């Protein structure tokens, strides 16, 4: 193992990968042998992909209505009626 790499770094990296793969924090805490979940919270930060997935999951049921113009702005007749000119 290189001098700059310490065993705890490998443990930390594995814990982050497990958390990002969906392992719940309480199970990760037990896996690591922590007495408290608070100790395990250092691994519990969301990366960009986790945030994107959470947003997609939370908004999957939301249908965005298609915006339709009230009138065609090239329709001169309708525009005159709306402006009270006819």
pLDDT in tens, 1-56: 778 888 888 888 899 899 888 899 999 999 999 999 998 888 777 788 888 888 88
Domain that holds residue 48: 1-60
Summarised one tens digit per residue, pLDDT across range 44-56 is 777 888 888 888 8
Identify whether 14 is part of a domain: yes
| Structure tokens, 36 | 């408290």
Question: What's the number of domains the chain is made of?
Answer: 1
* pLDDT of 74 over the 80 cut: no
pLDDT higher for 71 or 52? 52
pTM of the model: 0.53
Identify whether 71 is part of a domain: no
Identify whether 7 is part of a domain: yes
Q: pLDDT at position 32, please? A: 92
DSSP per-residue codes, 7-76: HHHHHHHHHHHHHHTT--HHHHHHHHT-S-HHHHGGG----HHHHHHHHHHHHTTPPPPPP--SS-TT-H
Number of H helices, E strands in the chain: 5, 0
């Amino acid at each position: 193992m290189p001098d700059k790499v310490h065993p705890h770094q490998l443990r930390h990296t594995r814990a982050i990968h497990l958390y990002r793969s969906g392992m719940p924090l309480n199970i990760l805490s037990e896996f690591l042998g922590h007495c408290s979940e608070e100790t395990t919270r250092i691994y519990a930060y969301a990366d960009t992909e986790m945030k994107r997935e959470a947003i997609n999951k939370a908004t999957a049921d939301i249908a965005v209505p298609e915006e339709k113009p009230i009138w065609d702005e090239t329709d001169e007749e309708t525009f005159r009626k709306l402006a009270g000119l006819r």
